[in-house]
Amino acid sequence: MKISNVEVLVLKSPGLYHSPEGAEEPSGPTYMGLVKVSTDAGIVGYSDMETSAPVAKAAVEAPRWSEPGLEFCDGLASLVIGENPLEVERLWYKMYRGSIYFGRRGVVIQAISAIDIALWDIMGKFYQQPIHILLGARWRDRVRAYASTLFRPTPDAMREAARRYVDQGFTAIKFGWGVFGRDPAMDVRLVEAARAEIGDRHDLLIDTGWFVERTPKEAIRVIRSLEPFRPFFIEEILHPEDYDGYRQVADSVETLIACGEQEATEWGFRQLIEVAKVDVVQPDLTRCGGFTVARKIVHMAERANVLVIPHSWSSDLLAAASLHLNAFQRRAVFVEFNTSQGPLSRALVKEPLRLVDGHVAVPSGPGLGVEVNEKTIEQYRIA
């Protein structure tokens, strides 16, 4: 079996990422890049990616530039077409090294991530096994989900939203971004309202958003102001590359500190685990380097007693990928479940993932175990 083609399809949803007032449920991603890897055996693998899809398309489709055997500036497709898709580890490194002059991070690692996930999808379909079995473990067949949504602008709207997720069966809710960080007193009231609504039995997770510039001491103050409401973790309280700042914060508070959705590669996560000393790493499979990197992150994190809670705020395709990683982890706490109802979140696969008893089942079919809906692709494809 050989890789015959690698394509990037650009999709655009009619909805906005979130409503301007922030009071409604966000509609999920507006733009999406979908990677499709084809083989001469007729097996096809897919992955979405959270990035600038047109830039990723250029990185994938750029021509061969350098001498065979001395690749350093080549389009990603040119590096893997003709190769055996089952050699995921070698192909990951061939793409990484073969694009190193313009790559390493940003859009290139995101495109490498998506191609890598598609290769694992192909490998699963070839061996007729789900990806978590190929990774080597099915520790669990379902994972507790947290509803992942944006902060609402008033305490009443927070209570109403929190009630809705509990009514849907969620036992954990994460509020993030939105108005948080504009007014510290209001921030406390918003979190207080959510905790009051959900009571003590459910978990409340807070994503404070790194785009609010904070020093470590300011971050510690924010966390202490929220600690009475017992957040399960506080996510991205500092800029994602402020490793020393994260260590200062993590050393100063009892609340778990989470970070990592912007981080990539085993070398980046080593910084987060060993220098930043965060309690929870949140690799996004479509940003960190795909399964080939994520399994190394899981190994590093398990050795260091750090939790891995994958970031997954896109489609059911990414949520399915995250569930396979969850199944492989010795200790998995949550799968992130994007509650948006936009078509790129909910209609990208034929059978959307469902919440049952506050949990989502780990897909058991071959590869990712979910089937891409070609009709949705046709409907929303713009390039």
Closer residue to Mg ion (CB): 310 or 366:
310
CA 144 vs CA 135, 221, 257, 337: distances in Å: 20, 30, 20, 10
* Cα-Cα end-to-end distance for the chain: 28
* Least gap, CB of 64 to Mg ion (angstroms): 37
* Least gap, CB of 342 to Mg ion (angstroms): 18
* Least gap, CB of 177 to Mg ion (angstroms): 7
Could you give the residue numbers annotated as active site? 311
**Burial tier of 133 (Cβ tally within 10 Å: 0-12, 13-18, 19+):** middle
Binding residues for Mg ion, rule: CB under 5 A, are: 207
Alpha-carbon span 312 to 283, nearest angstrom: 9
Closest to 53 measured CA to CA, from 308, 332, 377: 377
Closer residue to Mg ion (CB): 207 or 316:
207
CB 130 within 8 A of CB 155: no
Encoded tokens for 304: 């260091």
* Least gap, CB of 176 to Mg ion (angstroms): 5
* Least gap, CB of 311 to Mg ion (angstroms): 6
Closer residue to Mg ion (CB): 126 or 175:
175
CB 153 within 8 A of CB 194: no
Closer residue to Mg ion (CB): 207 or 242:
207
CB 133 within 8 A of CB 364: no
DSSP string of 219-248?
A: HHHHHHHHGGG--SEEE--S-TT-HHHHHH
Closest CB to Mg ion: residue number:
207
* Least gap, CB of 261 to Mg ion (angstroms): 5
Cα 64 to chain center, whole Å? 30
Closer residue to Mg ion (CB): 46 or 210:
210
Alpha-carbon span 114 to 94, nearest angstrom: 15
Following CA atoms 248, 252, 256, 259 in sequence, which dihedral angle do they give, to the nearest 10 degrees? -10
Closer residue to Mg ion (CB): 50 or 207:
207
